[in-house]
Structure 1
């Protein structure tokens, strides 16, 4: 009797798992279809943009507006090409995933397990320590930098010299910064805090897309600041621009002010 119950339980579990695999396969088919539609739209947009770019080239090269517009178009084309590559890679991955799911159904019969994709994690102790250090007025530490080490975000540096702070953000990196700046005048001096997200110009489209999720994760600890900045070029890492952003934020509530330079 016990063997019959065990066999019935295993059969039910196997049937439920097969149904789950079938649903996953159907979802993958839907995603692939949407990607194909997106790819077609990207192709159409590329043609329009190329035609527009050709017209821009015919403008007077000495005109400042024309030069600026040409630069923007070239930059847009570069980003669009990255998006096109991402779509193509995603289609290949989804096709591969569909094949893997079919193989996975067979693997169930032989008792093989599935693989789980790891999400971004935090080195909470070092990040919290750096965060509290910057917030401590009695500490000489005025900034901290947080970077990715594999699937985790860690505190990679602390310091007080803003010139050194600027050196920690490379073109191919994603990172976060937290700074304490003194604002006001002799009559009223106050400490204000900035949370900075850095996405270098050489960062891939896929990693750019992941940044919003990763930012939400680290903001679970770094929650108090007057201004939030999203920067993508070294020229934007400028202390005067930071102070100007704080001045424009005025009495912004901590943790809610967002100012893009």
Structure 2
């Protein structure tokens, strides 16, 4: 595989999934302008907004993010999203391979409820993603409202 199963990526993945770690997202990027070698480029604790600010407009990147939301006063849900970022300035050949390579990364970052295909930062809007996670989870206590 292209490095998606590297020890540092697997460790970051476990950190995002852990209830005992504040890390709530990771970002995987390509090591070079060409080739398929992947590397862990960042992790963070600031959620979707911080992740969105870390994306590179000229790259395809893969992210894994922990999203917490409340269904009602008594319950808190934790779900995970896999993000495929194709920046607006990404070169054509890199874009063309993104689907195939995303499948390889998804095998490593396997436990997620939804995949978010993003080409603009607004595609990572927390309300929209929580709405999609609620629908994917089957229980929507807000009648479809985010």
Q: Normalising by structure 2, report the TM-score.
A: 0.83
**Quick check: which one's strand share is greater?**
2
Q: 1:250 aligns with which of 134, 137, 144?
A: 137
1:134 match: 16
Q: CA deviation at 1:137?
A: 0.9
CA contact (8 A) 1:123 1:152 kept: no
> Which one has more relative contact order, counting CA pairs under 8 Å at least 6 apart?
2
Moved beyond 4 Å, runs of 4+ = none
2:94 to 194, 199, 207: 207
1:192-231 matches, cutoff 5 A: 192-231=79-118
Q: Which runs of 5+ in 1 are unaligned?
A: 1-118, 253-261
* CA contact 1:145–1:155 (8 Å) conserved in 2: yes
Which of structures 1 and 2 has the bigger CA Rg? 1
Could you tell me which residue of structure 1 aligns to residue 51 of structure 2? 165
Where 2:77 maps in the other structure, the secondary structure is: strand
Aligned equivalent of 1:152, options 37, 50, 66 = 37
Aligned residues of 1:193 and 1:224 also touching (Cα < 8 A): yes
Map residues 176-195 of structure 1 onto 2, 5 A cutoff: 176-183=62-69, 184-195=71-82
Give 1:185 deviation, angstroms: 2.6
Cα RMSD over matched residues?
A: 1.8
Residue-pair matches, total: 134
Deviations 1:105-148 (A, max 9, x none): xxxxxxxxxxxxxx844351011101100000111111111111
Structure having the larger proportion of residues in helix = 1
